[in-house]
């Protein structure tokens, strides 16, 4: 199809989008562990929620397992995912004499520390999050069973009957909808005026930034596409935010092959963003797919610069330094 035959399309490209500092750090941890220790390197659960990333690391020699008992007796390291793990997992690894490396995002670790502080101060803890998500499992697993109550919805916030209503604290999953969480927190603060919250918001900077810019592009777009995995919480929230912010429809796609082009007949404007665990190569792939079918004009919608970088675990940094010094 020649350019003259292609229908025009305005593509609003969100910035920031894609990898956050925690995801970037987790992937680098696996890549450096493979470099330092050689394959195989074992990873408990998906290091981040993206099939393209996981498959790429698997090709380099990473072996992904659900639980530690799937790993044979070995001197090779096991890495814990960016979402965090219950404290029983590193305890189990230590009992098995495993070399383990924790790739938990530092912003998730911050929430773990908050939970432990609230526990020391004998507060009832309410965790705003989604049941079954690895991050929620990891956070609740920092404390004894029953110490944390999960709040998923505004209905939960209205109906919860804590044992210590005057000695409460709330924490959150880092990848939630900013607006939904605000509604839930508002209810909790109305019902329990003395409830204690985080000194600094738990929802991470990347989640907030990506949701803010998707609101901008959704208001100008017929359809919004979010590049991300179906089990990625932050990607699902981006899709929801786009729908609430003016787009007639929003779709989560893992890559260009997932796009239903028949549904785009008559569309003149599209918004495009990517969840925090989606690599830029997949965004480029989607843009190329649009260019093959439309006469595309790309307009970058840039709301904020991100310069957050998290340091790698000390033990891994030292190993890398030793290896480089020996060369």
| CA dist., res. 11 & res. 264, Å (int) | 13
Residue with tokens 């639980």: 67
* 169-192 mean pLDDT: 97
* 235-256 mean pLDDT: 96
Residue 115 has pLDDT above 90, yes or no: yes
DSSP state letter for 32: H
User: 140 Cβ partners below 8 Å, 6+ apart?
Assistant: 86, 127, 148, 150
5 — pLDDT class (breaks 50, 70, 90)? confident
Catalytic residue list contains 135: yes
Residue 326 has pLDDT above 90, yes or no: no
Domain borders along the chain are: 3-20+205-302, 21-105, 107-191
The pairing of beta strand 269-274 with beta strand 223-227: parallel
- Backbone φ and ψ for 112, nearest 5 degrees, come out as -60, -45
Q: Which CATH code of 3.20.20.70, 2.40.70.10, 1.20.120.1200, 3.40.1010.20 fits the domain covering 107-191?
A: 3.40.1010.20
pTM of the model: 0.95
Would you state the structure tokens that stand for residue 215, as one six-digit string?
A: 């609101």
Q: Which fold has domain 21-105?
A: Rossmann fold (3.40.50)
Give me the catalytic one of 31, 70, 91, 135.
135
Same fold, 3-20+205-302 and 21-105: no
Q: Looking at the structure, give the CATH architecture of the domain made up of residues 3-20+205-302.
A: 3-Layer(aba) Sandwich (3.40)
Residue with tokens 């969840």: 275
Q: What digits encode the pLDDT tens for the residues 34-46?
A: 999 999 999 999 9
Closest CA relative to residue 80, chosen from 114, 38, 29, 39: 29
Q: What digits encode the pLDDT tens for the residues 15-35?
A: 999 999 999 999 999 999 999
Angle at 181 between CA 120 and CA 109, to 5 degrees: 40
């Amino acid at each position: 199809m020649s350019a003259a035959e292609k229908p025009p399309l305005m593509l609003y490209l969100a910035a920031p989008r894609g990898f956050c500092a925690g995801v970037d750090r987790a992937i680098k941890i696996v890549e450096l562990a493979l470099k330092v220790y050689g394959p195989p390197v074992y990873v408990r659960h998906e290091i981040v929620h993206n099939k393209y990333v996981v498959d790429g690391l698997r090709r380099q020699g990473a072996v992904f397992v659900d639980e530690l008992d799937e790993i044979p007796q070995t001197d090779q390291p096991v890495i814990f995912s960016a979402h965090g793990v219950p404290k029983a997992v590193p305890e189990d690894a230590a009992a098995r004499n495993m070399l383990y490396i924790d790739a938990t995002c530092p912003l998730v670790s911050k929430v773990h520390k908050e939970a432990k502080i609230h526990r020391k101060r004998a507060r009832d803890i309410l965790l705003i999050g989604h049941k079954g998500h690895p991050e929620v499992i990891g956070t609740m697993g920092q404390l004894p069973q029953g110490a944390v109550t999960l709040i998923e919805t505004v209905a939960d916030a209205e109906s919860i009957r804590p044992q210590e209503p005057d000695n409460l604290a709330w924490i959150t999953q880092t990848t939630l909808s900013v607006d939904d969480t605000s509604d839930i927190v508002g209810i909790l603060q109305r019902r329990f005026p003395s409830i204690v919250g985080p000194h600094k918001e738990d929802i991470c900077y990347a989640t907030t930034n990506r949701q803010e810019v998707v609101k901008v592009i959704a208001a100008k777009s017929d359809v919004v596409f979010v590049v991300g995995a179906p089990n990625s919480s932050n990607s699902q929230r981006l899709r929801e935010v786009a729908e609430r912010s003016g787009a007639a429809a929003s779709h989560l796609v893992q890559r260009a092959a997932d796009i239903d082009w028949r549904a785009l007949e008559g569309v003149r404007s599209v918004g495009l963003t990517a969840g925090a665990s989606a690599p830029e190569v997949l965004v480029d792939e989607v843009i190329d797919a649009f260019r093959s079918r439309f006469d595309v004009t790309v307009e970058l919608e840039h709301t904020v610069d991100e310069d957050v970088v998290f340091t790698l675990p000390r033990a891994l940094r030292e190993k890398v330094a030793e290896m480089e010094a020996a060369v």
